[in-house]
Structure 1
């Protein structure tokens, strides 16, 4: 099967600083792929290059066989790559369903054409997306009063409004309570299974990573140092050394953030 996303020799230098060096990997359709590594490993830099927010020093990014290297973020988004961020960004004065409706209006290029009547447009589609992330019962609540975990789920609905082929999730459970983390990643895994969306995500909670990833890649000092399933990564001596300086790897949430 051809990969949905293919990265070839991706490299980013900031003058003399090497942030990412010769990173290559593939993301298959319907795959939940984790990119992990200590702080400063280059994970966010990789994401920013994939999404067009940073220009790569070298390398190529292909989406469904088509090069998207050098495209601007909105162009990458239009090609079918969505993204969620570590810190949610929503319209706090608007309701949950209105936030998703705005994403749908953008998807259909109608943000300015129908702005006065925006609350009437695509409401049923927005409610379907909210139901997918278990937020339909909060559709008419204002975002300003939502719990952080609910904002994260709403952000996922907004990302799905564009019907992406690939979804990049940058630390999706950051700031969430342990039970909320598990619930959000289980929800993401269900969407991957049911819709066939391909997901690449970064995460510091190793319990979440090992429980839901189909495959895991480890980045350290800008280079990929290991790739495989949970058992392989958990028992890999190089990964253990990078995270803990030796010893048993990823035994708890505390060690995951070491």
Structure 2
């Protein structure tokens, strides 16, 4: 049996007397698209922050390709092959798309700017290749401040790919995007996951994105997993319909 890329076991985070995340366990395979959904306050962001090292779990285990991540700082987890994008895209607006990706590559190699060698000369080819992979080659020399929001999200994806991750965490990747942009971005991520055998865990409020692109879905409510499985089984789950609609009559669309 193949060992999962990501193994999460009994993950827990408690604030006062409230479990923000309680005994959450799941696996993620290389090349798989896994969605983590739930109503506001379900614990999705807390779970993400524990996986990326921004929060230390109170209990539980997070293993990437057999390596324990719990307790490591975010920088160490990033260097072990965990990339992340955020709900609000984080790029340097005054820099070009190419320069933003070059900065990520410089960080990966732990290089400082040199008085004898301009930073712009470093990793230019690799940065251009990453932008080409996300469909941004034609806009490589434009400042991020003037790019359409969907294009900024693509640049952020290229930045996340700069450390050659095995696992990509995407927090609300299509937030603020129109329908066409949402589907174009997620189709791109799906193709990259398959080509690079990249495990992708994403949170998302747009159910058309979740049910259109996730191979499996995890559903959180009040910090606990209440359902998991393929999109069709989750769509039909009575408890999931109750959580989202307050009635077993509806279903995620």
TM-score (normalised: structure 2): 0.97
| Alignment partners' CA distance in 1, 2:211 and 2:14 | 31
Cα distance change of structure 1 residues 135 and 16 upon mapping to structure 2, 3 Å threshold: same
Q: Does the 8 Å CA contact 2:38/2:220 hold for their aligned counterparts?
A: yes
Cα distance change of structure 1 residues 145 and 244 upon mapping to structure 2, 3 Å threshold: same
What per-residue deviation string (whole Å, max 9, x for no partner) do you get for residues 201-252 of structure 1?
Answer: 000111111111111110000000001111101111000000001222123x
> Which residue of 2 is the match for residue 72 of structure 1?
73
Point out 4+ residue stretches in structure 1 off by more than 3 angstroms.
Answer: 111-116
Which segments of 5 or more consecutive residues in structure 1 lack a partner in the other structure? Answer: 252-258
Q: Does the 8 Å CA contact 1:215/1:229 hold for their aligned counterparts?
A: yes
Q: Does the 8 Å CA contact 2:4/2:29 hold for their aligned counterparts?
A: yes
Cα distance change of structure 1 residues 248 and 55 upon mapping to structure 2, 3 Å threshold: same
> Which residue of 2 is the match for residue 177 of structure 1?
178
Q: Does the 8 Å CA contact 1:102/1:111 hold for their aligned counterparts?
A: no
What per-residue deviation string (whole Å, max 9, x for no partner) do you get for residues 45-94 of structure 1?
Answer: 00000111011111111111111110000011011111000001111111
- 1:25 equivalent in alignment to 2:49: no
- 1:165 equivalent in alignment to 2:205: no
What per-residue deviation string (whole Å, max 9, x for no partner) do you get for residues 176-209 of structure 1?
Answer: 1111111100000000011111100000111111
SS of 2:170's equivalent in the other structure is: strand
Shift of 1:117: 1.2
Q: CA RMSD in A?
A: 1.2
> Which residue of 1 is the match for residue 192 of structure 2?
191
| Alignment partners' CA distance in 1, 2:162 and 2:222 | 35
| Alignment partners' CA distance in 2, 1:88 and 1:145 | 14
Count of aligned pairs between the two proteins: 251
> Which residue of 2 is the match for residue 242 of structure 1?
243
Shift of 1:110: 1.1
Shifted more, 129-138 versus 113-122: the winner is 113-122
